[in-house]
Amino acid sequence: MPPIELRSDNAASVTPEILQAVLTANDGSALAYGGDEITARLESLVREVFEHPGARVFPVTSGTAANALSLSALCPPWGSVLCHQTAHIANSEGGATSLLTGGAVMVGLAGDGYRITPRTLQAALDSIRWGDPHHSQPAVLSLTQPTDFGTLYSVAEIEALVGIARSRDLRVHVDGARLGNAIAALGCTPAELTWRTGVDVVSLGATKNGALSAEAIVVFDDRAADELVYRTKRSGHVTSKMRFQSAQLLAYLTDRLWLRNAAHANARMAELGAGLERLGVELVGSPQANLAFAALPDEVADRLAAADVLFHRLDGLARFVTSWETSAEEIAAVVAAVESALS
Amino acid sequence: MPPIELRSDNAASVTPEILQAVLTANDGSALAYGGDEITARLESLVREVFEHPGARVFPVTSGTAANALSLSALCPPWGSVLCHQTAHIANSEGGATSLLTGGAVMVGLAGDGYRITPRTLQAALDSIRWGDPHHSQPAVLSLTQPTDFGTLYSVAEIEALVGIARSRDLRVHVDGARLGNAIAALGCTPAELTWRTGVDVVSLGATKNGALSAEAIVVFDDRAADELVYRTKRSGHVTSKMRFQSAQLLAYLTDRLWLRNAAHANARMAELGAGLERLGVELVGSPQANLAFAALPDEVADRLAAADVLFHRLDGLARFVTSWETSAEEIAAVVAAVESALS
Amino acid sequence: MPPIELRSDNAASVTPEILQAVLTANDGSALAYGGDEITARLESLVREVFEHPGARVFPVTSGTAANALSLSALCPPWGSVLCHQTAHIANSEGGATSLLTGGAVMVGLAGDGYRITPRTLQAALDSIRWGDPHHSQPAVLSLTQPTDFGTLYSVAEIEALVGIARSRDLRVHVDGARLGNAIAALGCTPAELTWRTGVDVVSLGATKNGALSAEAIVVFDDRAADELVYRTKRSGHVTSKMRFQSAQLLAYLTDRLWLRNAAHANARMAELGAGLERLGVELVGSPQANLAFAALPDEVADRLAAADVLFHRLDGLARFVTSWETSAEEIAAVVAAVESALS
Amino acid sequence: MPPIELRSDNAASVTPEILQAVLTANDGSALAYGGDEITARLESLVREVFEHPGARVFPVTSGTAANALSLSALCPPWGSVLCHQTAHIANSEGGATSLLTGGAVMVGLAGDGYRITPRTLQAALDSIRWGDPHHSQPAVLSLTQPTDFGTLYSVAEIEALVGIARSRDLRVHVDGARLGNAIAALGCTPAELTWRTGVDVVSLGATKNGALSAEAIVVFDDRAADELVYRTKRSGHVTSKMRFQSAQLLAYLTDRLWLRNAAHANARMAELGAGLERLGVELVGSPQANLAFAALPDEVADRLAAADVLFHRLDGLARFVTSWETSAEEIAAVVAAVESALS
């Protein structure tokens, strides 16, 4: 058996449907920089999938670009972005938001389950001297959905947070690098999880969930979209043969491929979670999507790694991520390997 | 006959070898963010092709990213980048260099044939109050090779310009969005056109010449490369499944595919140039690579467009660009269509 | 006789009225960061002097800050600022506008007498591909009044340029480092030269015309002013004991001190110009304000410098600048020294 | 009796010596932008006072400018600045460091007494994935001395922290907006508190301690100083009549004026602290310099304010700041007013 890949959904390969879409897109010539038909069809499909007739979409090639550009269109340079203190945008993007917003600062809020809570959000807003230029002015609430630890905000939780944010005129961004996993897990619609609850801009991940190199900024606000026309270009995020990014995203959103892939990954994680629980392994947070962190003693983790299970170790925890191509057999083998490592 | 595509080499499709490389790369899982084997092999091949044992390579997904990031690693925020006044970096990248350098300014120099000349470069350097912070300090010479108008710098011309630049400690960048076309046209080696003449960093284009979405920053200077590790990430230009960009570039550089594709495109342009000349159509500059601008009366251009020849009109000129997939039959048809349009 | 100072009006000392105002302001404690009474009185006086009930004022301590901050509130990061190719903001501020706007670019236009003309402005606007993110979008017209060469725009000329700028929704900035000299020379009102012709923001210089260290950004547009509250602070341009900057500006604008000082300097320059003309020395442009450039042979300039006349040499020309404290005796002595140097 | 000013040392007036220096500097003309004799003498005096023959000084007009510019010369755009979570640079400068560094991020560390401790610093450094561009790389340790809460780092504490910082090649900055108060309180020399313990750059405050509008960046590292030549200019922080800023700083450092003023302010705060303690009022941290925060019930604070004692209320605490002009009589009156308000 080859090594079992649980390091990251980024490490997975490309789904057949998306690869086929790339091949199909390679038919003749097409205008560059998004002036092609496939990109036009993508925008139509995004509007349909998100049930929003004015939604606009900007294909990019990295999640960091999607996040930092989204935030740059929502946050003035003197503003701050409120996010959870464990958020990817604050910890794992090398300061991209600072660069692309022209100097906005990130403010990490506390909150159980790696989620901002209404209480921590309200407290953060209450502590600000509004209108005083000595203090960065909160301008955006950014929610990571699911979080980097695999936990989820319910629709009601997002509504509550957006309500508080709106009371101070904050805009709302969702880092949806794994948005499909959240939608699949919550059983809601894309619209319910985004603009219907007041979200302005979504970073819609695709690469982790089966694409080759395509992410999308989905925008429900025209002013932000108008800025992104320029912001994407001047940061080098308008690919010339954009049809190939658009084709990936088009296939991704067609026939619910993204949600099927995500549901698959979630199901594998649920199996892994159940298996680990059965073995008495403590999980940090409950695996609601396709990631989990487990407290494994070092020697157990060493043995598991020696058994060709690929996973990351972060701050003394083992991180497992399932993907669209993780199989039930692999999960069973991993659980068995953990059991053996424990004994 | 379908329309004949001469608007841009960006409009062309992907060469079979590169498409196959993408398919082949999709075999199993691989570490994200460049920690994969294909990316490692790419760096080895770049060193071989450029005959430089310390060359480093950063795959990105747009030419604008390649250029602006290259310049950001060479130019301090208070510096200026000297380029030809028609350079792509100054006119067609939406201010990307200003953004990614943190505020450096572009200075456009005159020069016949869309090329900087030793005289204009020397004059620009002589006019500077060096060390006076009121004045942006020239820090980089950027050469577009071939130029956006299809003209070329010879190796000797580059040497002369680099010599002048070095006399004032400027670093040297080459915008090689079509570098393959230049190398194919000049019959020199990649090394001769770059580091052997003193070039520090090259933006190596691949997308225009048959790739899907891959450009490379090739760096011959370790300090610049060390910075690019961070600069690429914080601008969102490190793709997660980088193996797919690397695979494109690996195929591109393997067995001289890039030079073969480029020679093909150049040959088609030579045929087009000869054909137009025969018809008495004036070309702006002589087509040394795969672009040419022709002075066509408006009504002639209208008739040509009506004949399903696709081309751009810029400032009263018709721009024709050939690519790796332009056929000799297409060129013959275009020449015939021009002849017919003229009569 | 001590050396005669004609290098720069920046080299002059502080007028007695302003020095006294500083001393007077030093009476007891006052809230920092502009929360003091003197700053409030300054805003009232600015509204009165400029005849604009909603004008707002931001005291800063350098002309570069006033210019770059003004432009940052008018120009988006992807925009461009159109100015004359000899403009101070483009040539002598070390790239400050690029920094403080977050990457906007400067476009230098041609035009006789160091002035943008309706024709060059219209041509610049006509050459743009509007809405195309590959190209920096002109967003601001910046006029230097008087120019760095001592020439002036008439009110009618400004109106014509603003009209063209408005046709493309450009905002209008005036670099008024020497605005008093322009008003004094033209005999118009501050309102006529600014918001009545459509100017949005003015950099109002005071230091060159007798202040200690005070410049002001005068804003006729609330949205720009609202941004400047934050932009001034985050660039470090809100002094803590702002009352001392405000006191300088208050004295400057009181009883037309600024216009009296400026008229004095202009008169001295007129005398110098007339004297030089009489001697057959060619002036570049006609000295309408308090600067002039004269074509003096090198050996003449050497002799003049040896005679303790202080002036700058730029590009083969001698630059003379008069100030509020230049005396008629000094000008007579300079003319005599030139005469002697010529012979 | 007029109101007693304890809101801020920024609210105090200018000391006679400094005002006299400004008047004296106004003698004849002088080269602009620091090319004058007073600025040259300032640099000599700084070298003498700090006992460092290569020290360089950049006069600016705000503390925010001094801090953000200092950090911009020490921290690359992809770096992070480690400071205490209560630091002024992170909380009260409107994001200036993000702007002037080109996007560096601030990391707030915990630590008792508003001071970073060796433990929290070491933990922060240990948690970093060094060399991984996903994570902002710590590049500077910034210490506020005294802190915004009036506490102090001892020389030994700074040495310990610098030692840890150096182990990871961090540069060290001191925000010395009130450095004189720290030196006066600790009884050490300027050198001992700065470069002798490994500090690279100091923001040397003067305005809070009696100047009109002058702060200084004192640099012990030539590379940083070389950058600041350009960084100060392009952010608009080179005043034209710099001699007036330099004159203030020259008087400030002459005959230990800065230390005498600071000792005076510290002594008044010690009296206030002792008085409050006697009344049983709890102080947050012990007032080692010229600031203190006291836990006063709201109604007591209201009564105190009604008694014409001027102070700020922050987060439920009363903040008192003494200055060079606070008198012993005023402190006695304040203590009496508190006593009366308490009863």
D288 close to C (CB below 8 A): no
pLDDT at site C119: 97
Distance of CA D220 to the CA centre of its chain: 17
pLDDT at site B161: 98
Q: Assess whether B126 and B238 both reside in one domain.
A: yes
pLDDT tens, position by position, D181-219: 999 999 999 999 999 999 999 999 999 999 999 999 999
Among D275, D286, D287, D259, smallest CA distance to D340 is for D275
pLDDT at site B245: 98
Place of tokens 């011959």: B220
D230 close to B (CB below 8 A): yes
Q: Assess whether A91 and A160 both reside in one domain.
A: yes
Interatomic CA distance for residues C336 and D173, integer angstroms: 55
pLDDT over 80 (residue A120): yes
Question: In chain D, which among 210-229 make CB contacts under 8 A with chain C?
Answer: 212-213
Residues 6+ apart with CB under 8 A from B17: B210, B251, B254, B257
Name the residue facing B102 among D33, D102, D131 (closest C-beta): D102
Q: What distance in Å separates residue C126's CA from the closest CA in chain D?
A: 31
Q: Assess whether D223 and D321 both reside in one domain.
A: no
pLDDT at site C316: 84
pLDDT band at C284 (very low <50, low <70, confident <90, very high): confident
Q: Assess whether C168 and C226 both reside in one domain.
A: yes
pLDDT at site B189: 98
Residue A91: its chain D contacts at CB < 8 A?
Answer: 135
B13-B239-A139 Cα angle (round to 5):
115
Find, in chain A, the residue whose alpha carbon is nearest to that of B26.
A13
**Looking at residues B152-159, what average pLDDT do you find?**
97
CATH number for the domain spanning A336: value is 3.90.1150.10
Q: State the average pLDDT for chain D.
A: 96
Distance of CA A103 to the CA centre of its chain: 23
Residue C235: its chain D contacts at CB < 8 A?
Answer: 65, 96, 99-100, 235-236
Q: Enter the DSSP assignment of C21.
A: H
Q: What distance in Å separates residue B134's CA from the closest CA in chain D?
A: 7
CATH number for the domain spanning A181: value is 3.40.640.10
Q: How many domains does chain C have?
A: 2
Q: Assess whether A249 and A100 both reside in one domain.
A: yes
**Looking at residues B93-100, what average pLDDT do you find?**
97
Where b means 16+ CB within 10 Å and e means fewer, C224-239 reads bbebbbbbbbbbbbbb
Q: Assess whether D62 and D125 both reside in one domain.
A: yes
Residue A326: its chain B contacts at CB < 8 A?
Answer: none
Residue D95: its chain C contacts at CB < 8 A?
Answer: 234
**Looking at residues B8-37, what average pLDDT do you find?**
96
Q: Assess whether A77 and A201 both reside in one domain.
A: yes
**Looking at residues A168-189, what average pLDDT do you find?**
98
Residue B7: its chain A contacts at CB < 8 A?
Answer: 29, 31
Q: Assess whether C214 and C310 both reside in one domain.
A: no
A234 close to B (CB below 8 A): yes
pLDDT band at B330 (very low <50, low <70, confident <90, very high): very high
**Cβ separation of D69 and C233 shorter than 8 Å?**
no
Q: Assess whether C222 and C319 both reside in one domain.
A: no
pLDDT at site B315: 81
pLDDT over 90 (residue B128): yes
Residues 6+ apart with CB under 8 A from B28: A2, A5, A13
Q: Assess whether A93 and A231 both reside in one domain.
A: yes
Residue C127: its chain B contacts at CB < 8 A?
Answer: 315
Q: What are phi and psi of B133, to 5 degrees?
A: -70, -10
Q: Which of B234, B256, B278 delimits the end of a domain?
A: B256
Q: State the average pLDDT for chain B.
A: 96
Domain that holds residue B323: 4-12+258-342
Among C242, D64, C232, smallest CA distance to A133 is for C232
Classify A323 as helix, strand or coil: coil
pLDDT at site C90: 96
Subunits next to C (3 or more Cβ pairs <8 Å) are A, B, D
Q: Which of A244-253, B102-111, B216-225, C312-321 has the lowest mean pLDDT?
A: C312-321
Q: Enter the DSSP assignment of D51.
A: T
Q: What distance in Å separates residue B78's CA from the closest CA in chain C?
A: 6
**Looking at residues A325-335, what average pLDDT do you find?**
98
Interatomic CA distance for residues B176 and B204, integer angstroms: 5
pLDDT at site A284: 87
Interatomic CA distance for residues C23 and C189, integer angstroms: 30
Interatomic CA distance for residues C327 and C304, integer angstroms: 18
Q: Which of D213, D228, D257 delimits the end of a domain?
A: D257
pLDDT over 90 (residue D36): yes
Find, in chain A, the residue whose alpha carbon is nearest to that of C240.
A134
**Looking at residues C68-85, what average pLDDT do you find?**
98
Answer for the pair C343, C284: CB distance below 8 angstroms, yes or no.
no
Distance of CA D157 to the CA centre of its chain: 17
Chain D interface, best mutation among C207, C232, C239, C325, by max D CB count within 10 A: C239
Q: Which of C256, C291, C315 delimits the end of a domain?
A: C256
Residue C233: its chain D contacts at CB < 8 A?
Answer: 64, 93-94, 96
Residue C233: its chain A contacts at CB < 8 A?
Answer: 78, 133-134
**Cβ separation of B63 and A240 shorter than 8 Å?**
yes
For D26-60, where are the alpha helices, taking DSSP H only? Answer: 37-49
For chain B, where are the alpha helices, taking DSSP H only? Answer: 16-25, 37-49, 63-72, 88-91, 96-101, 118-126, 155-166, 179-186, 190-193, 222-234, 242-253, 257-278, 298-306, 328-342
pLDDT tens, position by position, C162-209: 999 999 999 999 999 999 999 999 999 999 999 999 999 999 999 999
Residue contacts between B and C (CB atoms, under 8 Å): 51
Q: Assess whether C41 and C153 both reside in one domain.
A: yes
ipTM (interface predicted TM): 0.96
pLDDT at site A314: 87
Chain A interface, best mutation among D62, D71, D80, D98, by max A CB count within 10 A: D98
Q: Which of A45-54, B95-104, B268-277, C284-293 has the lowest mean pLDDT?
A: C284-293
**Cβ separation of C213 and D213 shorter than 8 Å?**
yes
Chain B interface, best mutation among C83, C98, C127, C312, by max B CB count within 10 A: C98
Among D179, D170, D186, smallest CA distance to D202 is for D179
pLDDT at site A262: 98
Q: Assess whether D275 and D294 both reside in one domain.
A: yes
Answer for the pair D205, D63: CB distance below 8 angstroms, yes or no.
yes
Classify A273 as helix, strand or coil: helix
pLDDT over 80 (residue A4): yes
pLDDT at site D202: 98
Q: What distance in Å separates residue C230's CA from the closest CA in chain A?
A: 5
